[in-house]
Chains A and B, each alone.
Chain A
Amino acid sequence: MSTYALPGSPDHSAQQAKPPVVVQASKGLLRLDLRPVWEYRELLYFLVWRDVKVRYKQTAIGAAWAICQPLLTMMIFAVIFGRFAKIPSDNVPYPIFAFAGLLPWTYFSQSIARSGMSVVSDANLIRKIYFPRLIIPASAVVAPLVDFALSLLILIVMMAWYRVTPNWAVATLPLFICLAVCAALGVSLWLSALNVRYRDVGHAIPFLVQFWMYASPIVYPVSLIPNQWRSLYSVNPMVAVVEGCRWGLLGKESPEFGAVVIGTLVALILFLSGLIFFKRMERSFADIV
């Protein structure tokens, strides 16, 4: 080993002092070893950037799709559920009520739909190149945040139109977005790892997304759920997320504290168990994907 850096390759000297990389059969469920993920954090950035760049390539209206999808869904909901079915909307105009719910929901459903397939669709990479596999579903969960930000702008325009002003609770909005990311990542880790072995997951995801939407207060307010069912209902972390977003953005009454606590706990459990499951499965990804 040379004690001086080679000309033109300053990286060598930095690497010399490092302990060796040990490759062996990993044991134990709880040895997560997330250090490589941190070392490869720039790859996360590049994969997110790739997803965002590529998503609307060769489309006529480009990124407008990110806005059109929730906007059109909102219109359909407003006509069917707001006008015809006369579903209550807690004293807010129905369109804006629906849109404020669709915003986090679209993010969540996009995340799990994309990341559920992510590991399998990057199978070539996994078979040929080493990097922490966790980066793949993580990037699929981060990328839809860009769409989320775009539709948030539309919501702000709509709020000005309907003269809805948020109060101090808008400061809690980032917390609820974090909760949505945490829940989405948890579900994604489970689904993407399961999908490597059982391709059934790919078929189940559209159904799961649809079911989950009706189990969340998107088209209807939480007040429609009978009181005795509320705690069970709150097990779905998206209940806390959607209610929290409506509170923060529309200045509606605050969500029940208990519901937020249950939702957060469930999201954390999903995330941690997903992490353990993914780390356990990732050992065999290259062999069976």
Chain B
Amino acid sequence: MSELAIRVHHLGKEYRIGQAQHNTLRDQITAGMESLLGRASQRKRRKDKIWALNDVCFEIKKGEMVGIIGHNGAGKSTLLKILSRITEPSLGRAEIYGRVGSLLEVGTGFHFELTGRENVYLYGAILGMTKAEINRKFKRIVEFSELEQFLDTAVKHYSSGMYVRLAFAVAAHLDPEILLIDEVLSVGDLAFQRKCMEQAQSLRESEATVIVVSHNMFSIKAMCDRVLYLSHGRVLADGTPEEVIPRYEEDILGGKGELDTPRWAQSKLGSDPSQRPVNVTDMQVLDESGKARTVFEFGERARLRIKYEMRQDISDTNFVVALIRSDGVACCNYSSELDGFKINGSLGQGEFEVLLPPLKLVADLYAVHVVVWDGKFQQLFGAQICGSFHVRHELFSTHFGVYHETAEWFVREREHV
């Protein structure tokens, strides 16, 4: 078990960004002329290269389950792309011992005009299987996909669910020794994510090595024995989930006073909250009795204490507290306007508290966004990501949906015949 699966040695990958990409010959010629005339200096001086990965070193042993976490743009996906040989590193090397299968995205390579049967062969070959191997596994692939009766239908007539099922069935039978999964890319298709994770679990029993990129700390904790935390292209931490994950969460939650703007609002409001009509300066997550908390049991109530600053008078402020799950799903909104509560919108500072109803959301990490609208949800005055908290429950996970509530059940007596 102590044998190596992957050795990564001072790996670096440089990307050009922002620079005028010479996509047509004319651009290239213009750039060439400019450099001849000595005007290239301006162009060159611009900082147009970034290291997506920078001096990354690690070793992974056979049979390890490793999670890779980090912010967007930390280099996680680039690392997987290099390990799966899609792109070359600029520096350093990676040694890979064994057959690699990657679930970076399933179904690229399918041809819409071909039938399901034909696509199994085509996709299998693209993933690196031989014809004999596909022949041997064909029956199992079809059984797994549950699409026997549609095998001779062109894939263009498939629903998207059927399409993914067939593609996944092929990918799952690649029997890799090293499996790379990028969960971040497959966001939005929970069924697919779950299948990926089940597949990873079953591979674990066959001594395969699994590397997962994920934003979902719960699945990382549940699956992995080891976590690599990447930040700005470097390995910031490498250890057990218990050691590394808290550090990552501290980093995303921490930095008090620096309350980020959600991406959707940046074009409307700019990126500097202090220049807006309303700026949330602080938010504390407390329990019902007013003690600071980050983890809530399912059904507990959270109290949010929010401090804000008005830079102009707004007559009808409408503060909205939104809970956004770690995978980006907006789960619920609480609006001061809809709840009939007036918040003082005159120039200066203010403070208020929201006591949320008992949390019925499934176990996950939730970010709290505070968004300020006018009473009619027409005009936006401010929007910030203010903090986050966990909800804990041993059963209710994202597989259960967004929230869980008890229903009422009744027995109806059968009519006597």
Q: Is the CB of B207 within 8 A of A40?
A: no
With a cutoff of 8 Å between Cβ atoms, the chain B residues found around residue A284 in the complex are 87-88
Closest CB in chain A relative to B132 CB, distance in Å: 9
Q: Is B343 an interface residue (CB 8 A)?
A: no
Task: Give the residues from 266 to 325 in chain B that come closer than 8 angstroms, CB to CB, to chain A.
Answer: none
Q: How far is the CA of A284 from the CA of B235 in the complex (A)?
A: 25
Q: Is the CB of B108 within 8 A of A23?
A: no
Tell which of B113-121, B368-376, B377-385 binds the partner.
B113-121
Q: Is B215 an interface residue (CB 8 A)?
A: no
Task: Give the residues from 110 to 141 in chain B that come closer than 8 angstroms, CB to CB, to chain A.
Answer: 111, 113-114, 118, 121-122, 125-128, 130-131, 133
Q: Is A24 an interface residue (CB 8 A)?
A: yes
Interface size classification for chain A: 35 or more
Contact of B104 among A20, A24, A128, A131 (CB under 8 A): A128
Q: Is the CB of A25 within 8 A of B91?
A: yes
With a cutoff of 8 Å between Cβ atoms, the chain A residues found around residue B177 in the complex are 12, 15
Q: Is B102 an interface residue (CB 8 A)?
A: yes
Contact of A50 among B88, B108, B114, B127 (CB under 8 A): B114
Q: Is B92 an interface residue (CB 8 A)?
A: yes
With a cutoff of 8 Å between Cβ atoms, the chain B residues found around residue A47 in the complex are 122, 125
Contact of A25 among B89, B130, B207 (CB under 8 A): B89
Closest to A46 in B: B125
Task: Give the residues from 1 to 16 in chain B that come closer than 8 angstroms, CB to CB, to chain A.
Answer: 3, 7, 15
Q: How far is the CA of A284 from the CA of B26 in the complex (A)?
A: 21
Q: How far is the CA of A161 from the CA of B352 in the complex (A)?
A: 96
Q: Is B219 an interface residue (CB 8 A)?
A: no
Closest to B90 in A: A25
Q: How far is the CA of A199 from the CA of B24 in the complex (A)?
A: 6
Knowing A22-B93, A198-B24, A288-B21 touch, does A9 contact B85 (C-beta < 8 A)?
Answer: no
Task: Give the residues from 1 to 51 in chain A that come closer than 8 angstroms, CB to CB, to chain B.
Answer: 1-2, 6, 9, 11-12, 15-16, 20-26, 40, 42-43, 45-47, 49-50
Q: Is the CB of B207 within 8 A of A6?
A: yes
With a cutoff of 8 Å between Cβ atoms, the chain B residues found around residue A43 in the complex are 125-126, 128
Name 17 A/B residue pairs within 8 A (Cβ), A-sorted.
A1-B62, A6-B206, A12-B175, A12-B177, A20-B95, A22-B93, A23-B94, A43-B128, A46-B125, A47-B125, A53-B118, A125-B126, A126-B86, A130-B85, A198-B22, A200-B25, A284-B87
For the A-B complex with A15-B99, A20-B97 known, give 9 more contacts whose Cβ atoms are closer than 8 Å. Answer: A21-B85, A25-B90, A42-B131, A124-B108, A124-B109, A128-B86, A130-B128, A200-B26, A288-B21
- A interface list, Cβ under 8 A from B: 1-2, 6, 9, 11-12, 15-16, 20-26, 40, 42-43, 45-47, 49-50, 53-54, 57-58, 124-131, 197-200, 283-284, 286-288
